[in-house]
Amino acid sequence: MNFEKLLKAAQEIKEKAYAPYSHFHVGAALLTPSGKMYTGCNVENTSYGLTICAERNAIFQMVNNGEQEIGEILVIGDTDEFLPPCGACRQVIAEFAAKDTIIYMCNRHGQFKKTSVAEIIPFSFSLDK
Ligand code: THU
Protein backbone atom coordinates (compact mmCIF):
# COMPACT_ATOMS: atom_id res chain seq x y z
CA MET A 1 0.00 0.00 0.00
CA ASN A 2 1.30 3.44 -0.92
CA PHE A 3 0.53 4.90 2.48
CA GLU A 4 2.80 2.44 4.31
CA LYS A 5 5.58 3.04 1.81
CA LEU A 6 5.30 6.81 2.17
CA LEU A 7 5.08 6.62 5.97
CA LYS A 8 8.24 4.53 6.32
CA ALA A 9 10.19 6.82 3.99
CA ALA A 10 8.99 9.99 5.74
CA GLN A 11 9.78 8.57 9.18
CA GLU A 12 13.28 7.71 8.02
CA ILE A 13 14.02 11.11 6.47
CA LYS A 14 12.56 12.89 9.52
CA GLU A 15 15.51 11.52 11.51
CA LYS A 16 17.81 13.52 9.22
CA ALA A 17 16.11 16.86 9.92
CA TYR A 18 18.47 19.71 10.75
CA ALA A 19 16.45 21.61 13.35
CA PRO A 20 18.80 22.92 16.07
CA TYR A 21 16.64 26.05 16.57
CA SER A 22 13.08 24.72 16.75
CA HIS A 23 13.92 21.10 17.63
CA PHE A 24 10.88 20.34 15.51
CA HIS A 25 11.68 17.50 13.13
CA VAL A 26 9.54 17.03 10.03
CA GLY A 27 9.68 14.42 7.28
CA ALA A 28 7.89 14.35 3.94
CA ALA A 29 7.64 11.76 1.21
CA LEU A 30 5.88 11.84 -2.12
CA LEU A 31 5.21 9.43 -4.93
CA THR A 32 4.98 10.48 -8.56
CA PRO A 33 2.71 8.79 -11.11
CA SER A 34 5.83 7.04 -12.44
CA GLY A 35 6.17 5.32 -9.06
CA LYS A 36 9.31 7.13 -7.95
CA MET A 37 9.54 8.36 -4.39
CA TYR A 38 11.18 11.57 -3.20
CA THR A 39 11.74 12.54 0.41
CA GLY A 40 12.71 15.64 2.34
CA CYS A 41 13.36 16.84 5.87
CA ASN A 42 13.37 20.38 7.21
CA VAL A 43 16.69 22.21 7.12
CA GLU A 44 16.98 25.23 9.39
CA ASN A 45 19.45 28.08 9.37
CA THR A 46 20.86 30.51 11.89
CA SER A 47 19.23 33.16 9.70
CA TYR A 48 15.82 31.70 10.51
CA GLY A 49 13.98 32.82 7.38
CA LEU A 50 16.23 30.68 5.21
CA THR A 51 14.75 27.51 6.66
CA ILE A 52 13.30 25.07 4.17
CA CYS A 53 10.38 22.85 5.12
CA ALA A 54 10.37 19.10 4.63
CA GLU A 55 7.59 19.17 2.01
CA ARG A 56 9.30 21.73 -0.18
CA ASN A 57 12.59 19.89 0.16
CA ALA A 58 10.91 16.69 -1.12
CA ILE A 59 9.19 18.56 -3.96
CA PHE A 60 12.43 20.23 -5.04
CA GLN A 61 14.14 16.81 -5.06
CA MET A 62 11.38 15.65 -7.42
CA VAL A 63 11.93 18.60 -9.77
CA ASN A 64 15.71 18.17 -9.62
CA ASN A 65 15.16 14.63 -10.84
CA GLY A 66 13.14 15.73 -13.84
CA GLU A 67 9.65 15.03 -12.53
CA GLN A 68 6.92 17.62 -11.96
CA GLU A 69 3.83 15.80 -10.75
CA ILE A 70 2.92 14.79 -7.22
CA GLY A 71 0.80 11.63 -7.12
CA GLU A 72 0.39 11.69 -3.34
CA ILE A 73 2.34 13.26 -0.51
CA LEU A 74 2.72 12.53 3.20
CA VAL A 75 4.02 14.75 5.98
CA ILE A 76 4.88 13.71 9.52
CA GLY A 77 6.10 15.37 12.69
CA ASP A 78 6.84 14.26 16.23
CA THR A 79 3.44 15.61 17.18
CA ASP A 80 0.25 14.24 18.67
CA GLU A 81 -1.75 16.28 16.16
CA PHE A 82 -1.78 15.36 12.47
CA LEU A 83 0.87 17.64 11.01
CA PRO A 84 -0.56 20.07 8.44
CA PRO A 85 1.70 21.58 5.76
CA CYS A 86 2.41 25.28 6.34
CA GLY A 87 0.84 27.87 4.05
CA ALA A 88 3.94 28.27 1.89
CA CYS A 89 4.17 24.51 1.37
CA ARG A 90 0.50 24.33 0.45
CA GLN A 91 1.06 26.79 -2.39
CA VAL A 92 4.10 24.81 -3.58
CA ILE A 93 2.19 21.52 -3.38
CA ALA A 94 -0.60 23.13 -5.45
CA GLU A 95 1.96 24.05 -8.12
CA PHE A 96 2.72 20.38 -8.82
CA ALA A 97 -0.54 18.66 -7.92
CA ALA A 98 -4.16 18.33 -8.98
CA LYS A 99 -7.08 19.49 -6.86
CA ASP A 100 -7.78 15.90 -5.81
CA THR A 101 -4.17 14.96 -5.04
CA ILE A 102 -4.02 13.17 -1.70
CA ILE A 103 -2.13 14.55 1.26
CA TYR A 104 -1.61 12.38 4.34
CA MET A 105 -1.04 14.42 7.51
CA CYS A 106 0.50 12.16 10.16
CA ASN A 107 1.26 12.23 13.83
CA ARG A 108 4.13 10.65 15.75
CA HIS A 109 2.18 7.40 16.07
CA GLY A 110 1.86 7.02 12.31
CA GLN A 111 -1.87 7.76 12.45
CA PHE A 112 -3.10 10.01 9.70
CA LYS A 113 -5.74 12.34 8.37
CA LYS A 114 -6.25 11.98 4.62
CA THR A 115 -6.99 15.25 2.85
CA SER A 116 -6.65 16.82 -0.60
CA VAL A 117 -5.16 19.89 -2.23
CA ALA A 118 -8.63 21.37 -2.77
CA GLU A 119 -9.33 20.99 0.94
CA ILE A 120 -6.13 22.49 2.32
CA ILE A 121 -5.68 25.30 -0.21
CA PRO A 122 -9.04 26.06 -1.80
CA PHE A 123 -8.05 29.47 -3.19
CA SER A 124 -4.46 28.85 -4.31
CA PHE A 125 -2.92 31.62 -6.35
CA SER A 126 -2.57 30.95 -10.07
CA LEU A 127 -1.69 33.07 -13.11
CA ASP A 128 -4.42 31.27 -15.08
CA LYS A 129 -7.16 33.70 -16.13
N1 THU B 1 8.16 22.83 9.07
C2 THU B 1 8.13 21.93 8.03
O3 THU B 1 9.15 21.31 7.72
N4 THU B 1 6.96 21.77 7.38
C5 THU B 1 5.80 22.41 7.67
O6 THU B 1 4.83 22.33 6.94
C7 THU B 1 5.71 23.20 8.91
C8 THU B 1 7.02 23.63 9.47
C9 THU B 1 9.42 23.03 9.79
C10 THU B 1 10.06 24.37 9.56
C11 THU B 1 10.88 24.54 10.81
O12 THU B 1 12.14 23.95 10.64
C13 THU B 1 10.11 23.77 11.88
O14 THU B 1 9.20 22.94 11.18
C15 THU B 1 9.35 24.64 12.87
O16 THU B 1 8.55 25.55 12.22
pLDDT in tens, 6-62: 999 999 999 999 999 999 999 999 999 999 999 999 999 999 999 999 999 999 999
Ligand 1 pocket, residue 77 CB under 6 Å: no
The pLDDT score that the predictor gives to residue 56 is 98
* Arithmetic mean of pLDDT over the chain: 97
Tell me the catalytic residues: 55
Q: Give residue 129's pLDDT band: very low, low, confident or very high (50, 70, 90).
A: confident
Q: Domain for residue 24, yes or no? A: yes
Q: Domain for residue 81, yes or no? A: yes
The minimum-distance atom of ligand 1 relative to the CA of 51 is 12
The pLDDT score that the predictor gives to residue 119 is 98
**CATH number assigned to the domain comprising residue 41:** 3.40.140.10
Alpha helices (runs of H) in the chain, residue ranges in sequence order: 2-14, 54-64, 87-95, 117-120
Range of the domain at 103: 2-120
Q: Domain for residue 36, yes or no? A: yes
Q: Phi/psi at 77 (nearest 5 deg)?
A: -130, 170
pLDDT in tens, 62-117: 999 999 999 999 999 999 999 999 999 999 999 999 999 999 999 999 999 999 99
Q: How many domains does the chain have?
A: 1
Q: Domain for residue 127, yes or no? A: no
Region for 103 from its dihedrals, namely left if φ exceeds 0, alpha if ψ lies in -120 to 50, beta otherwise: beta
Q: How many Å lie between the centroid of ligand 1 and the Cα of residue 26?
A: 6
Q: Domain for residue 126, yes or no? A: no
Mutational test site, ligand 1, from 14, 44, 53, 93, max ligand atoms within 8 Å of CB: 53
The minimum-distance atom of ligand 1 relative to the CA of 53 is 3
Ligand 1 pocket, residue 41 CB under 6 Å: no
* pLDDT of 1 above 80: no
Ligand 1 pocket, residue 19 CB under 6 Å: yes
